[in-house]
Amino acid sequence: MLNPKLVAEAAFERVLEVAIHKDLINFKGQSKLRLGVALWHAGLPVDVLPAEGFLDVNLGEENSAWPPES
């Protein structure tokens, strides 16, 4: 498991923004990135996004995301 503090940064007010440091993740042979977000307050989880499953981000130039690496 990756340490989220080293891999991503987040900002939240009305919109949740997440920046992922792609050079710390091995995307070789991957066509999508699966994400889950846990929101914490005072050391306790208060919400999980999405409520079930993962957020799927399709990779590749046609999807406006990072191109897949071979």
At 42, list the tokens.
């005072």
Strand partners of residue 34: 56
How many helices and strands, by DSSP H and E, does the chain display?
1, 6
Q: What span, in angstroms and rounded, lies between the C-alpha atoms of 16 and 60?
A: 23
Tens-binned pLDDT, residue by residue, of the chain (70 aa): 556 667 777 777 888 787 777 777 787 888 888 888 888 889 898 999 899 999 888 887 776 666 666 5
pTM for the full model? 0.56
Contact 38, 48 (CB under 8 A): yes
Q: Where are the domains of the chain?
A: 4-63
